[in-house]
A and B are shown apart, each in its own frame.
Chain A
Amino acid sequence: MRDVSIGQYYQTDSVIHRLDPRVKLVLAVAYIVMIFFIVSFIGYALGFLFILILVLLSRVPPLQVLRSLRMILFLIIFTFVLTVLFYRGGGDDLLFGWQFIKIYKTALINASKMALRIMLLVLGPSVLTLTTTPVELTDALERLLWPLAKIKLPVHELAIIMSIALRLIPTLVEETDKIISAQKARCAEFDSGNIFKRAKALLPVLIPLFVSSFRRADELAFAMDSRCYRGAVGRTRMKVMRLALRDLFAVLGFCAVFFAVLLLTYNWFGFGFIPLLTPGGY
Chain B
Amino acid sequence: MPIVTEQLSYVYSPKSPFAKQALNGVTLTVADGDFLGVIGHTGSGKSTLAGHFNALIRVQSGRVEVDGIDLRPKKLDFKLLRSTVGMVFQYPEYQLFDESVERDVGFGPRNLKIPPDEIAERVRESLEMVGLDYEGVRRRSPFELSGGQKRRVALAGVLAMRPKILVLDEPTAGLDPRGKAEILELIRRVKKYMCPTVIMISHNMDEIAANCNKIAVMSGGSLVCVLPPEELFTRGDLLKEHGIEMPAVTRIANALADRGLDIPRSLVREDDLVAAIVAAKRGAIKAATPAKPERAQKAENNIPHTDAVKDAAKKGGDECVTFR
Contacts and interface: CB of A to CB of B under 8 A. Distances in A.
Interface of A: 1-4, 175, 178-179, 181-189, 203-205, 207-208, 211-212
B257 to A, nearest CB: 44
A208 B79 CA distance: 23
The contact size tier of chain B is: 20 to 34
Given A3-B18, A187-B78, A181 B157 contact: no
A109 B266 CA distance: 84
Interface string B66-92: 000000000000110011001101001
Given A185-B89, A185-B158, A179 B112 contact: no
A179 B79 CA distance: 18
B18 A185 contact: no
Contact of A179 (B51, B86, B95, B158): B95
Nearest to B16: A1
B18 A187 contact: no
Closest 9 pairs (CB-CB, A-B): A187-B111, A186-B108, A207-B97, A182-B95, A185-B87, A204-B97, A182-B89, A181-B56, A187-B82
Given A1-B13, A4-B18, A208 B56 contact: no
B96 A208 contact: yes
Nearest to A201: B111
25 contacts: A1-B13, A2-B12, A178-B94, A179-B94, A181-B56, A182-B87, A182-B89, A182-B92, A182-B94, A185-B158, A186-B107, A186-B108, A186-B111, A186-B161, A187-B111, A187-B112, A187-B161, A203-B97, A204-B95, A204-B97, A204-B98, A204-B107, A205-B97, A208-B94, A208-B95
Contacts, number: 63
B44 interface: no
Nearest to B113: A187
Contacts of A181: 51, 56, 89
Contacts of A179: 94-95
Interface string B288-320: 000000000000000000000000000000000
Contacts of B250: none
B107 to A, nearest CB: 6
Nearest to A180: B56
B284 to A, nearest CB: 53
A71 to B, nearest CB: 17
Name which of A175, A181, A186, A207 has the most chain B CB atoms within 10 A of its CB: A186
A151 B111 CA distance: 57
A207 B141 CA distance: 13
B125 to A, nearest CB: 16
Contacts of B108: 186-187
Contacts of A203: 97
B87 A188 contact: no
Contacts of B54: 185
A184 B97 contact: no
Given A181-B51, A208-B96, A188 B111 contact: yes
B134 interface: no
Given A183-B107, A185-B82, A188-B107, 11 more contacts: A182-B89, A182-B95, A184-B82, A185-B56, A187-B78, A187-B108, A187-B161, A204-B95, A204-B98, A208-B95, A212-B94
